Every structure is written in structure tokens, then in C-alpha cells.
């Protein structure tokens, strides 16, 4: 049973199917017989259902991806904060080290002066 419209030459330009004339050679994906029409009527809702389910899966994947990116951004922010704190601690330690080095230098110079004085006094007493 063929359900495609038939066009007569008399109806040509006045019939409401006139726009379909150039595409009359195209057929349904499933064909034009009774089985094809039933298959298309049954397949189309299944295809829509499959597309809806795929869209739901895509949305779930997109949500999971967004949460993952958010977690990565938070972890990066925490690492940056920890790095800034460690850098501040290192700068403080370097400053303390510099002060200790200066103090050690001053004490070494003072010990050298005392050692020189003691040496000269010991040398005077021995003469």
C-alpha cells in the first residue's frame, strides 16, 4: 500500500503538495511500504528516547566534569596559599640566618681582639 500522494497534471501548481513534487523521489529511511511506516512509527519514539537518555548521560558527565574542575581549582588555590606561607617562612628564616651570621661575625671579631690582647699580655709577662 503506497501512501505517497499522487499528483495530476491539472493540480500541478494549485495543489498543497506542490512543494513536495521536487522531492517525491526521496523515500523514507525505512521505505514506503506498510512495514516501513510501522517501523518508523515505532523507531521514531525509540530514537527520541535514546536521544533523551544520551542527553541525560551527557548532562551527568558535564556535571561531573564541572565538579572535577572545581575540585582541581580549589586544590590549586590551596597549593598556592601553602606555597605563599612557605615562602614567607623561608624569607623569615633567611632573615634570621643573616642576623645570626652577622652576630657570629661580630663575636668572631671580638674573640680575635680578645685573643690578640691576651696574647700580647702573656708575651709581656713572659719577658
pTM over 0.85: no
In the prediction, which pLDDT does 127 show? 72
Mark out the alpha helices in the chain (DSSP H runs): 34-126
In the prediction, which pLDDT does 7 show? 47
Binned at pLDDT 50, 70 and 90, residue 11 comes out as very low
> Please, what's the largest Cα pairwise distance for the chain?
148
| CA distances in angstroms from 107 to 14, 94, 97, 110, 111, listed in the order given | 114, 20, 15, 5, 6
pLDDT of residue 38 exceeding 60, the answer is: yes
Amino acid at each position: 500500500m503506497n501512501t505517497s500522494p499522487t499528483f495530476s497534471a491539472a493540480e500541478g501548481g494549485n495543489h498543497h503538495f506542490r512543494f513536495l513534487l521536487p522531492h517525491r523521489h526521496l523515500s523514507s529511511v525505512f521505505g514506503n511500504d506498510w512495514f516501513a511506516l510501522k517501523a518508523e512509527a515505532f523507531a521514531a519514539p525509540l530514537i527520541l528516547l535514546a536521544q533523551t537518555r544520551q542527553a541525560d548521560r551527557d548532562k551527568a558527565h558535564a556535571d561531573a566534569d564541572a565538579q572535577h574542575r572545581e575540585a582541581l581549582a580549589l586544590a590549586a588555590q590551596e597549593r598556592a596559599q601553602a606555597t605563599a606561607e612557605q615562602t614567607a617562612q623561608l624569607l623569615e628564616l633567611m632573615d634570621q640566618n643573616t642576623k645570626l651570621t652577622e652576630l657570629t661575625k661580630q663575636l668572631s671579631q671580638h674573640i680575635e681582639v680578645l685573643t690578640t690582647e691576651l696574647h700580647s699580655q702573656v708575651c709581656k709577662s713572659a719577658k
